[in-house]
Amino acid sequence: QSFKLLGFLDVKSVPCARESVLYGSLGSLVVGLGHFVATSRVRRSCDFAVGGFICTMLGYWFYCRYNLAQHRIRQRMLKEGMRNKILFEGSSLDPERRQTGNEKSDS
């Protein structure tokens, strides 16, 4: 089952979406309530709350997607490394053999 915000953003299947919306809501509450406590102005506090929601949501979204992209790149490098290890193990192209050879020649 999917849960679509405003009818189009499926927060269950899109990575980072659920956390972004939740953190955005929390940020909105904090900023809105904080402004109201400080100034007692309802209308302006609502404006700040909406602004806080958008900024927190987008801010966490970029942070989370950046980390996800780095994670995916590391996954691909790991997959490539594992495949190369299996392919080249014992041959002259084996990176571990080259590394051991370098260490021996250094010592």
Partner 1 sequence: MANHSQFGFQDASSPIMEELVEFHDHALMVALAICSLVLYLLTLMLMEKLSSNTVDAQEVELIWTILPAIVLILLALPSLQILYMMDEIDEPDLTLKAIGHQWYWTYEYTDFKDLTFDSYMIPTTDLSPGHFRLLEVDHRVVIPMESSIRIIVTAGDVLHSWAVPTLGVKTDAIPGRLNQTSFITTRPGVFYGQCSEICGANHSYMPIVVESTPLTHFENWSALLSS
Q: Which residues bind partner 1 (CB under 8 A)?
A: 5-6, 8-10, 13-15, 17, 20-21, 46, 50, 53-54, 57-58, 61, 65, 69
Q: Closest distance between partner 1 and the C-beta of residue 76, in Å?
A: 9
Q: Which residues contact 24 (CB under 8 A, 6 or more apart)?
A: 53, 54, 56, 57, 58, 60
What span, in angstroms and rounded, lies between the C-alpha atoms of 26 and 28?
A: 5
**Residue among 58 and 93 whose Cβ is closer to partner 1:** 58
- Are 29 and 22 in contact by the 8 Å Cβ rule? The answer is no
Q: In terms of Cα–Cα distance, which of 75, 95, 71 is closest to 84?
A: 95
C-beta of 50: minimal distance to partner 1 in Å?
A: 5
> Which residue, 13 or 99, has its beta carbon nearer to partner 1?
13
User: CB of 107: closest distance to partner 1 in angstroms?
Assistant: 39
